[in-house]
Amino acid sequence: MAEFDLVVRNGEVATGYGLARCDIGVKDGRIVALAERIAGGERVLDAGGRLVLPGGVDSHCHIAQPEPAGFVHEESFVTASRSAFAGGTTSVVCFIPQFKGGGVWEQFTAYRAAASEAMADYAFHQIVTDPRPEILERELPAVIAEGVRSLKVFLTYDPLHLTDAQYLAVLALARREGCLVTVHCENHDAIRWRIAALKAAGLTAPKYHAWARPPVVEREATHRAIALAELVDQPIQVFHVSCAEAAEEIARARARGVKVWGETCPQYLVLTAADMDRPGFEGAKFMCSPSPRSVEEQGRVWQMIRQGVLDVVSSDHCGFSYGTPDGKRMNGEDDFSVVPNGIPGLGSRLPILFSEGVSKGRITVEEFVRLSAANPANLMGLAPRKGRIAVGADADLVLWDAERRVTITNALLQHAIDYTPYEGLEVTGWPVCTIRRGEVVMQDGRVQAAPGSGRYLPRGRYALVAPRGVVPDGFDAARL
């Protein structure tokens, strides 16, 4: 029997210690050797001097997610996996819903069943919208025991948002159970107030989505989310940061030693609010929350990435088509405030980040790897198995052609959504081969993987989200 099932030869490999010209030996789906020259191998792939990067870890994807209004995102785990592989991502973290008045255990079991057809490996966040005593005391601990180590809470959206008291209760539960809390930071009442005024003034076109939620509402909620997390001594990750003034709240808290991390997304690097000002309903294609901002703001977000304040770039992939009755138009076209929020981006995340980041000289290849794979894996408790090219890690690899110039079209992304907000965007750098646990699942755009071959990634307690042991006056209210 061959010592290696697969040898990837002749690559410029992004190891945890920087780029190295070496071969990679794979056995039973894991990396077992990194050496200048590895002989043999049942199968040999010649990287031809190209970059070999860890498979992308997208820690923020809404896939086949049931929403409180009764619809399900128009993307199955099969189509989402296809798009992930096409774009160089091998692991996703997606969201188990909770509806107000409902439980989480039944949602966990139903969502776990839906995810069993995935080809990408997957873990779950648990959304918490209704932290009633029985949810906090019984159901959430049961779901967490099944390996769901991150909770998502919303400080806005009508059927989802938490009051400060509810948010504190979730933070305290997370502290006790050893979970990360991820937070959607926008001020709900401020947005509602702006929406009411915009509607009263007859301003209902898609572009007013951005007017309803300017950076100050994001900054305020980010500040509050961090302050309350600090009070409880519970680590949090601020999701989808769109602007420097929100990121500055994170930087300030970090300077105080608070365990808070910030995620941003490609939409805040290449889209602007002006994209929503297209004729008719077209602007809905770019509608997500927080809103895309301005070209100047994009520059400031890059600055925050370079400073390490924003250390994860996820897609926030959402499955709403433009032309279908169940997509962006489900509530009509006349009122921006009822258009479902969110845009597709799972397959385009890595090419956009590489092109805008590495090819344009804003970040190094090593920083690209940290933002797209290593940091999300660390933060989500998926390391050392995911997010790195190292002996012992899963053999999730992407052969990357750093010179290839591609014009993004929807067909290239292979998702189930009928559009991409990045149609026509020119990128330099493209994934040419994706390997998941030692199996070639995408070669030159052809995805080949059996539905159900993805693995659930249960997560145990991990050190990164341990509290600091710092509470006001030494009185630990979360213990009670």
Interface residue list for ligand URP (CB under 6 A): 62, 184, 240, 288-289, 316, 318, 341-342
Which residues in 227-370 belong to E strands, given as ranges?
A: 236-238, 260-264, 310-313
The residue among 26 and 94 lying less far from ligand URP, judged by its C-beta, is: 94
| CA proximity to 378, closest of 14, 33, 144, 59 | 59
- What's the CA gap between 366 and 236, in Å, rounded? 25
Which of ligand URP, Zn ion, none sits in contact with 298, Cβ below 5 to 8 A by type? Answer: none
In angstroms, the first-to-last Cα distance of the chain is 57
The residue among 291 and 434 lying less far from ligand URP, judged by its C-beta, is: 291
Minimum Å gap between C-beta 184 and Zn ion is 3
Beta bridge pairs of residue 442: 434, 447
| Rounded-to-10 torsion of CA 332, 335, 337, 342 | 50
Minimum Å gap between C-beta 267 and ligand URP is 9
DSSP per-residue codes, 86-147: HTTEEEEEEEE---TTS-SHHHHHHHHHHHTT-SSEEEEEEE-S---HHIIIIIHHHHHHTT
DSSP per-residue codes, 468-480: -S--GGG--GGG-
- What's the CA gap between 302 and 117, in Å, rounded? 36
The residue among 23 and 316 lying less far from Zn ion, judged by its C-beta, is: 316
Task: Rule CB under 5 A: say whether 75 interacts with Zn ion.
Answer: no
Which residue is listed with tokens 């769109």?
242
Reduced to 3 states (helix: H, G, I; strand: E, B; else coil), residue 338 is: helix
Cβ neighbours of 366 (radius 10 Å): 16
Residue 303 φ/ψ, nearest 5 degrees? -55, -45
Q: What is the DSSP letter of 357?
A: I
The residue among 141 and 159 lying less far from ligand URP, judged by its C-beta, is: 159
Minimum Å gap between C-beta 57 and ligand URP is 17
Task: Give the interface segment with Zn ion, choosing from 45-53, 178-186, 244-252, 468-476 (CB under 5 A).
Answer: 178-186
Helix axes 244-255, 295-306, angle to 10 degrees: 20
Which of ligand URP, Zn ion, none sits in contact with 434, Cβ below 5 to 8 A by type? Answer: none
Structure tokens at 207: 């572009």
Task: Rule CB under 5 A: say whether 297 interacts with Zn ion.
Answer: no
The residue among 15 and 59 lying less far from Zn ion, judged by its C-beta, is: 59
Which of ligand URP, Zn ion, none sits in contact with 156, Cβ below 5 to 8 A by type? Answer: none
Task: Rule CB under 5 A: say whether 316 interacts with Zn ion.
Answer: yes
Minimum Å gap between C-beta 97 and Zn ion is 12
Minimum Å gap between C-beta 338 and Zn ion is 17
Minimum Å gap between C-beta 341 and ligand URP is 3
Minimum Å gap between C-beta 109 and Zn ion is 22
The residue among 59 and 81 lying less far from ligand URP, judged by its C-beta, is: 59
Which of Zn ion, ligand URP, none sits in contact with 317, Cβ below 5 to 8 A by type? Answer: none
User: Which helix (H) or strand (E) element contains residue 34?
Assistant: strand 30-35
DSSP per-residue codes, 239-267: -S--SHHHHHHHHHHHHTT--EEEEE-TH
Task: Rule CB under 5 A: say whether 184 interacts with Zn ion.
Answer: yes
The residue among 98 and 341 lying less far from ligand URP, judged by its C-beta, is: 341
| CA proximity to 53, closest of 444, 409, 371, 472 | 371
Minimum Å gap between C-beta 62 and Zn ion is 6
Task: Give the interface segment with Zn ion, choosing from 181-189, 306-314, 319-327, 348-356 (CB under 5 A).
Answer: 181-189
Minimum Å gap between C-beta 428 and ligand URP is 27
The residue among 169 and 284 lying less far from ligand URP, judged by its C-beta, is: 284
Which of ligand URP, Zn ion, none sits in contact with 437, Cβ below 5 to 8 A by type? Answer: none
Minimum Å gap between C-beta 367 and ligand URP is 24
CA 268 to chain centre: 13
The residue among 218 and 316 lying less far from Zn ion, judged by its C-beta, is: 316
The two most distant CA atoms of the chain are separated, in Å, by 74
Which of ligand URP, Zn ion, none sits in contact with 73, Cβ below 5 to 8 A by type? Answer: none
The residue among 6 and 288 lying less far from ligand URP, judged by its C-beta, is: 288
Which of ligand URP, Zn ion, none sits in contact with 288, Cβ below 5 to 8 A by type? Answer: ligand URP
The residue among 15 and 298 lying less far from ligand URP, judged by its C-beta, is: 298
Minimum Å gap between C-beta 96 and ligand URP is 14
Q: What is the DSSP letter of 397?
A: E
Task: Give the interface segment with Zn ion, choosing from 40-48, 117-125, 177-185, 253-261 (CB under 5 A).
Answer: 177-185
Q: What is the DSSP letter of 465?
A: G
Q: Are 154 and 289 in contact (CB under 8 A)?
A: no
State the residues that interact with Zn ion by CB under 5 A.
Answer: 184, 316
